[in-house]
Structure 1
Amino acid sequence: MKIPVMIPMLGEEEALAAADAVRSGWVAQGPRVARFEREFADRVGARHGVAVSSCTTGLHLAMVLLDIGPGDEVIVPSFSFIATANAVRYVGATPVFADVDLATGNVTVETVEAVRTPNTRAIIAVHQGGVPFDVAALRKAADGWGVGLVEDAACAAGSTAYGQPVGAGARVAAWSFHPRKLVTTGEGGMVTVDDPEAAVRLRRLREHGMNVSAADRHASAQPVLEAYLETAYNYRMTDIQAAIGLVQLGRLAGLVAQRRELAARYRDLLADVPGVTAVRDPAYGQGNFQSFWIRLDPEFRTGRDEVLAALAARGVSARRGIMAAHLEPAYADLAPTVGPLPVTERLTRDSLILPLHHALTEADQDLIVGILRELAGG
């Protein structure tokens, strides 16, 4: 494809940082991971960061931290990457799918309330595509209901809500450093919390349940006989990944600013294309535009899949919009219990993600929007 949907911003600085980690001899979880945890937590307004192997494993640990298990229900958006729902099943609980807001693609107090039951123990709310959900409203509602709120911030590094970074004030938030995210370590993730005891347990859970980390054992001048306090996991990040992540974190502000400029230009170009609604900021916050997605409304005369094919024929790599987990074979067993999700099904059918990255040019945008304009009339 001449115009890819996403290119990670990686350069010589990341290569040198990774090489320095290799030369140091410390390539597993070590001092660079600890530094990355501190700096990332500070960037998103949290007190503690716990680096993990992916956002998915971070969500799993969040479920364990909240003591979610069999017999419990956890409300999640179906309109999300399937990992959001999968994390609930990892602990034997039942995901309950809530619909989303048409403009933001996020769950709201109203959509969550519509499916809440006496068995609801937690909510996983997603800042979808970097668009923040209404954190003030949903946190207040979760507290009032007496349920845990986990923020799936996989795409949201650099987004803000109510003037604060997404993640500030969250009970627990999980983050992704996959290559399609603004900050990437190849694979990898982070869990952020404010409670120091929660941070201690998360660090233990990611490292087999040991009461002392491998880094602390190696740093000790005396033999350390560790104990394993609970059944846990190997969800660690390496120092090589963290070295790359530290460089990436330094790029974040510039990347967000550039992506917001490109998103604004897309919206200006698309303003006169009939039947296209572009993602935009909600009133209470600003997105990082990890993804720039558009919705094709009924007056747009070409189907979404045909649009994707037409773009591909001209060298443009676009993607279908966010998936609907409840329509996937993995969740077919829940079909009899899933209520109506009309907005989710509309968005997953009629939306697509356009290219947006640091190497995207104005000429690229002109070509993409030109193709959409041609297709608008069918």
Structure 2
Amino acid sequence: MIPVMRPWLGEEEAEAAAGVVRSGWVAQGPRVAEFEDRFADRVGVRNGVAVSSCTTALHLSLHLLGVGPGDEVVVPSFSFIATANCVVHAGATPVFADVEAEDGNISERTVEPVLTPRTTAVIVVHQAGVPADVGPLRELCRDRGIALVEDAACAVGATLHGRPVGSDALLAAWSFHPRKLLTTGEGGMLTTTDPALAERARRLREHGMDVSAAARHLSRQPVLESYGEVGFNYRMTDIQAAIGLVQLGRLDAMVQRRRELAAGYHELLADVPGVRAVHDPVHGTTNYQSFWVELAADFPLSRNELLGTLAEAGVSARAGIMASHRQPAYAGHPHGDLGTTERLTDRTLILPLFHELTEAEQGTVVDTVRRAAGLRAAS
């Protein structure tokens, strides 16, 4: 099967991980600190705090903002369920907003109708690496005294108005899951423009300890730590960070290759009736973390039927982004009109896209879609 995604990993990552193992320091330590600095510099922000996942970075962000019981947090339903879950973990209530049809992202237009006096935060997701137009949304939140958190899980390497996504975010959360461009196996990062928030986040990720475990073990004198507040165990390991440092060096090549492959999809699918492919928005560039297409109502096959046809041809595609409000876990949660979310969820699918995808493999994907639409193969 042609996989929908395959991480770009090699001997450099293996050697980096082995080097950490040989050093004897495998927990959070110097490699994590280096990875934090390098990653923050790459996305153009002052402070990076490495954590165990993007979900924990989102939860930590809400905790830093004081979000809790009685509060509402607006999130897109058109997102992986973790975006809503972190709100529940904080003790607050997720309120689902619709998204724009073009890019699958929330906007000030879709968020404003679901704001209430109980809204304390909004989480904007740069869905599948397509940058959301954060500026107008940030102004809306600022005028209402509402915090804005950026879920940039998929967005490393994407740009907004010529700058890296998240570069001016008060709080942004990133994922290093294998489905993302840059992977550490599992893991995440919290970035912030506020050094005080970063310092508190570093304490909170390590049980609220006022001295890091690394600093304590490296000290030549006894260190008696204290715990000023209840924290969490959200640490990253040096093994993960060592892999992340190698991956960070590959990032520009990853983005370039994915954009080349996406351009190939756009060209080869351009004349297929009833197929709309994701593309760059006017306000930025996507890293094409996922290449998704939307099928029109009159396409000869349903989305699920096309997934089956692709599977029969040896292509492992995926259903598009989920609608979280449809999941049993969120039955009855408040939301606005979600017509666009439901349409995109029902009619979109994700086609294979990864660094080492060959021309022949891409041709197999495209020809299968073209035949399903009643056209000749492109090759």
Q: Do the two structures share a fold, i.e. TM-score over 0.5?
A: yes
Partner of 2:297: 298
2:339 corresponds, among 338, 342, 356, to 342
Q: Is the 8 A contact 1:21 1:243 kept in 2?
A: yes
Q: What amino acid maps onto 1:186 in structure 2?
A: G
Aligned to 1:302, what secondary structure does the other structure show? coil
Shift of 1:366: 1.6
* Structure 2: runs of 5+ lacking an equivalent: none
Partner of 1:359: 356
Partner of 1:158: 157
Q: Is 1:372 matched up with 2:369?
A: yes
Q: Is the 8 A contact 1:302 1:377 kept in 2?
A: no
Partner of 1:210: 209
Shift of 1:377: 4.1
Partner of 1:83: 82
Aligned to 2:174, what secondary structure does the other structure show? strand
Shift of 1:338: 2.8
After TM superposition, the runs of 4+ consecutive aligned structure 1 residues lying more than 6 A away are none
CA offset digits 1:114-164 (Å, max 9, x no partner) = 111111100000000000000222222221221100000000000000110
1:106-255 correspondence to structure 2 within 5 Å: 106-255=105-254
Q: What amino acid maps onto 2:115 in structure 1?
A: R
The CA distance in 1 between the partners of 2:42 and 2:148, in whole Å, is 21
Aligned to 2:251, what secondary structure does the other structure show? helix
- Aligned identity (percent) is 66
Aligned to 2:231, what secondary structure does the other structure show? coil
TM score, norm. by length of structure 2: 0.98
Report how many residues are paired. 375
* Structure 1: runs of 5+ lacking an equivalent: none
The CA distance in 2 between the partners of 1:120 and 1:288, in whole Å, is 31
TM score, norm. by length of structure 1: 0.98
The CA distance in 2 between the partners of 1:198 and 1:338, in whole Å, is 30
The CA distance in 2 between the partners of 1:171 and 1:145, in whole Å, is 16
Q: Is the 8 A contact 1:41 1:192 kept in 2?
A: yes
Q: Is the 8 A contact 1:274 1:299 kept in 2?
A: no
Shift of 1:340: 1.9
The CA distance in 2 between the partners of 1:344 and 1:110, in whole Å, is 14
Partner of 1:70: 69
Shift of 1:371: 1.0
Partner of 1:27: 26
Partner of 1:45: 44
User: RMSD of the alignment, in Å?
Assistant: 0.9
Q: Is the 8 A contact 2:106 2:125 kept in 1?
A: yes
The CA distance in 1 between the partners of 2:51 and 2:201, in whole Å, is 9
The CA distance in 2 between the partners of 1:34 and 1:99, in whole Å, is 38
